């Protein structure tokens, strides 16, 4: 693999945790737990082995908070908090900087506190940036961006560069490759502005079964594609 041709930013829509658990006679919580503790941690290791500087993973959308049971959402947030408490020192030691995109203000205070602590702990790291999209929705981000511009921007004109500076991802390059597991072939409003020229790979594999080899295979597929960027 040529390092110069590798994607700089891989984003992942990790779909299929509940179906994976159901197929094994387990609870949805056990599916999410396996995904966070096992699958996600190993994928981060592979991201570092490939020397890919940015990775974003979509953990929760605003719709999840409304359409899933309160118990499941509570469990998901508990698992996130547990992951941060257990893994933050390891992430820091590996040179990983943690960032968060999405509407954090609507999250429970203890989750906000844990996320802010993790962000502060890892803010000086520069080897790899892992971004959690939590309570993130594409339309919500665009609306929040417009409101920030209306409040802060004094210019009479607006261009794409200015708009991008107000997005949640203002310090993160646009994703080169977006991978969705779980068999669905839709974007569900994930990074709509940033994904204009992203390459997509849709996999039938349920996220807990998304292995390190599968991630490498996706990168190999990406390297076979010719990116024209409108040319």
Q: Is residue 231 part of a domain?
A: no
Q: Do residues 134 and 59 touch, judged by C-beta distance below 8 A?
A: yes
Name the region of 141 (left: φ>0; alpha: ψ -120 to 50; beta: rest).
alpha
Gyration radius of the chain's alpha carbons: 18
Task: Tell which residue, 81, 119, 99, has the closest CA to residue 167.
Answer: 99
* Token pair listed for 157: 């004109």
Instruction: Tell me the per-residue pLDDT of 194-221, one tens digit each, with 9 for 90 and over.
Output: 999 999 999 999 999 999 999 999 999 9
Q: What is the pLDDT of residue 155?
A: 64
d(CA 35, CA 15): 10
Task: Tell which residue, 60, 52, 148, has the closest CA to residue 100.
Answer: 60
Q: Do residues 101 and 56 touch, judged by C-beta distance below 8 A?
A: yes
For residue 26, what are the domain limits? 7-224
| Mean pLDDT, residues 70-99 taken together | 91
Q: Is residue 2 part of a domain?
A: no
Instruction: Tell me the per-residue pLDDT of 1-14, one tens digit each, with 9 for 90 and over.
Output: 556 689 999 999 99
The pLDDT mean for the chain works out to: 92
Q: Is 40 exposed, middle or buried (0-12, 13-18, 19+ CB in 10 A)?
A: buried
Q: Is residue 69 part of a domain?
A: yes
Q: Which of 15, 140, 174, 176 is catalytic?
A: 15
Q: Is the confidence at residue 149, as pLDDT, over 80?
A: yes
d(CA 72, CA 64): 9
Tell me, what CATH number does 120's domain have?
3.40.1180.10
Q: Is residue 154 part of a domain?
A: yes
Q: What is the pLDDT of residue 224?
A: 93
Q: Is the confidence at residue 156, as pLDDT, over 70?
A: no
Q: Is residue 213 part of a domain?
A: yes
| Mean pLDDT, residues 96-106 taken together | 94
Q: Is the confidence at residue 78, as pLDDT, over 80?
A: yes
pTM confidence score:
0.94
Q: Is the confidence at residue 74, as pLDDT, over 60?
A: yes
Q: What is the pLDDT of residue 66?
A: 82
Q: What is the pLDDT of residue 177?
A: 98
Q: Is residue 134 part of a domain?
A: yes
Domain total of the chain: 1
Q: Is residue 133 part of a domain?
A: yes
Q: Which of 4, 17, 64, 217 is catalytic?
A: 64
Q: Is the confidence at residue 37, as pLDDT, over 60?
A: yes
**What's the length of the chain?**
231
Q: Is residue 230 part of a domain?
A: no
Instruction: Tell me the per-residue pLDDT of 54-66, one tens digit each, with 9 for 90 and over.
Output: 999 999 998 888 8
Q: Do residues 62 and 141 touch, judged by C-beta distance below 8 A?
A: no
**Residue 64 annotated in active site:** yes
d(CA 105, CA 45): 30
pLDDT band at 169 (very low <50, low <70, confident <90, very high): very high
DSSP 33-59: HHIIIIIIHHHHHHHHHTT--EEEEE-
pLDDT band at 133 (very low <50, low <70, confident <90, very high): very high
């Amino acid at each position: 693999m040529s390092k110069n041709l590798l994607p700089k930013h891989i984003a992942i829509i990790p779909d299929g945790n509940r179906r994976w658990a159901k197929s094994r006679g387990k609870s949805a919580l056990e599916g999410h737990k396996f995904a966070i503790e096992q699958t996600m941690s190993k994928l981060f290791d592979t991201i570092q082995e490939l020397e890919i500087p940015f990775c974003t993973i979509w953990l929760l959308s605003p719709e999840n908070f409304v359409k899933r049971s309160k118990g499941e959402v509570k469990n998901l947030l508990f698992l996130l908090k547990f992951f941060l408490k257990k893994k933050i020192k390891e992430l820091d030691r590996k040179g990983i900087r943690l960032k968060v995109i999405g509407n954090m203000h609507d999250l429970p205070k203890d989750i906000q506190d844990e996320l802010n602590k993790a962000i502060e702990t890892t803010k000086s790291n520069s080897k790899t940036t892992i971004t959690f999209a939590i309570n993130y929705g594409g339309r919500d981000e665009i609306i929040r961006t417009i409101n920030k511009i209306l409040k802060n921007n004094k210019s009479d004109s607006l261009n794409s560069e200015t708009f991008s500076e107000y997005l949640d991802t203002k310090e993160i390059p646009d994703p080169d490759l977006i991978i969705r597991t779980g068999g669905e072939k839709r974007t569900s409003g994930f990074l709509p502005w940033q994904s204009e020229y992203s390459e997509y790979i849709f996999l039938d594999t349920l996220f807990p079964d998304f292995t390190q080899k599968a991630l490498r295979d996706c990168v190999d597929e990406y390297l076979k594609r010719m990116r024209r960027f409108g040319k």
